[in-house]
Structures are given as C-alpha cells and as structure tokens.
Amino acid sequence: MDRQSSDDIMKFLDGMASSDDVLFGFLDEGNHSPEDYNFAAGDESEADNDTTDCNSEENRKFWQEHEQLLQATLYRTSSIETKIRQATKEALKVVRSKGLVCVCRRPVTDGCRSCLRGEVSRLLREAGYDCVIFKSMWRSSHEIPAGEHEYLEVVDKSVSKKGEIRVVIELCFRAEFEMARGSEEYKRLIGMLPEVYVGKTERLKSLIKILCTAAKKCMKDKKMHMGPWRKHKYMQAKWFGTCERKSVSPVSETEENMFPVAKQRVSMLNYGLFGAGIGRPTVVAVV
C-alpha cells in the first residue's frame, strides 16, 4: 500500500489546491456546531436493492445516529490540534509546489506514500514540532492476521499540566476505511471523513469504533462476510499496536561493520584502491 502509484500521489497532492475542506474535512474549526447540520432521513439516498431492511425505521436510525456521532467527533478539536493541522497543511503545500522525489531502493516516479510521510515529517520538524514516523506491528491471532502500518505522530509538551499530548497524522485516513462493495449509507459516512487526519489519539479511538461498527452493520445488511482486516481490533492495531520509532541517524562504526564488504580480487590493477575506502557501500541506519 505504501508504494502507491505516482498518479495517485499526484492526484492526492493536487487535491489540496481544490479544497482544504475536502482534504481536512470538519477537523478545521469553524462557526458551525453539530446541531447546525441537518440529518433528516428524507435526505438519505436509496439503499441497495439487494438489502432487505434498508428502509426500516431501525436501519435509518442507526445510520442517522452514526452520522451525528461522526460529525460531532470530527468537529471537536483543541488549539494544539488546530495548530499542528495548519502546519501539516503548509507542509503538504510545500511538497506539492516543489514536487516529491522518491528515494526508495526502487524509486517510483513522482514519489510514494512512504516518501511523502518522510518529507512531511521533515518539514514539521523544521517548523519546530517533534514529529516522527511510527511503525506499528502486530502478530496474528485467531481473530486477525498479522500486519504493520506507518503513520506520523507529533508529541507536544507545551502544556506542562497535561503532560505529553500525542497527535496522530494519517495522510490517507479516508482510504483506510473505504470498501468497494460498501452500501450507500456506509459510503456516505466514509465520505464525511477527511483525507488527512490530524488529531489526538483519544479522538482517533472514538472514530475507529464508530466506523468499524458501521462497517459491521454494512456487511450484515448485505449478507456478506466481514474480512478480519475490517474488524475493530485490526483497525485499532494500525495506530495503537506495538510501535517502533523510525528516524534516520548517522551510522556508527559498529553499525557499518554489520554490512560486510565483499572480498575483492587483488591484482596490480586494483591494489591499494580498496584500502583507501573506495568501493565500500554507503550505509544509512534506520532506527
């Protein structure tokens, strides 16, 4: 998933120019409150024909309540979240204006998601934020398969009374919950999500619960099996599993020796060259 095609990356970055509301959604502060939005059942689209109870009062109530819950959760925000969100916007605008160069072993034209995370993280650090790339990993169980996921996180310590405040930055948040065969109600709910999520970990947990409950309801209505990668436990593990902090650091002599140099055939033509260090690999440690 990280090695996203160049077309998708450019489409993602180009989308910034069209509307920040689409990119960051209701995460931005505004003059509206959740009560200002109309969730009348009469505005809802017709459901899929292959479902049997989509027009029932119970079904309409479920989706209406989840839209309201999602709206309210996305609307709530704090000053530190708003501050980091704005800095993330600026970082993405810089990436879009300068272009994204992929530095992976197998470079992708116009960049990949992994390189996008790295560049945004770098720009946020330059702006004074303690932003790092986290990689969560989890083992398989009888409920979910093993997996791993990378995302950005900013740790803020400016408010001493509250201690550390962790703010997650997920650059492709909406895509994590999209389902090709989802019902119209589910797709409408997912359409409310921002493309880029910037918010506290507590808020993210609430969103995951709302969305996974909706996914379960969607699959049940369509009489389809729900894949383990759609379950609440699996989705939560993406941002709250066992994590390792990734950062590029200078390579020590010990680390360099971990990468043995292939023995060279010595002749009068190359004698003395390898002793001077020519031909040895350049090593960058990721910890």
The whole-number average pLDDT for the span 9-34 is 50
The confidence score (pLDDT) of residue 30 equals: 43
Number of H helices, E strands in the chain: 9, 7
- Pairing type for strands 165-170 and 197-200 reads antiparallel
Q: In degrees rounded to 5, what are phi and psi of residue 173?
A: -65, -50
What kind and span of H or E run contains 216?
Answer: helix 201-221
Q: Is 272 left (phi over 0), alpha (psi -120 to 50) or beta?
A: left
Q: What is the pLDDT of residues 60-119, one digit of tens each?
A: 999 999 999 999 999 888 999 999 999 999 999 999 888 887 777 777 766 688 889 999
Query: Whose CA is closest to 199, among 67, 68, 76?
Result: 76
pLDDT at 155 over 70: yes
Q: What is the pLDDT of residues 178-230, one digit of tens each?
A: 998 899 999 999 999 999 999 999 999 999 999 999 999 999 999 998 888 99
- Pairing type for strands 197-200 and 285-286 reads unpaired
Helices 201-221, 57-75: crossing angle, 10 deg rounding: 160
pLDDT at 32 over 50: no
How far apart CA 252 and CA 255 sit, in angstroms, is 5
Sheet containing 197-200: order of strands = 197-200, 165-170, 147-156, 131-138, 242-246
pLDDT at 282 over 50: no
The model's pTM:
0.70
Are 215 and 230 spatial neighbours (Cβ–Cβ below 8 Å)?
yes
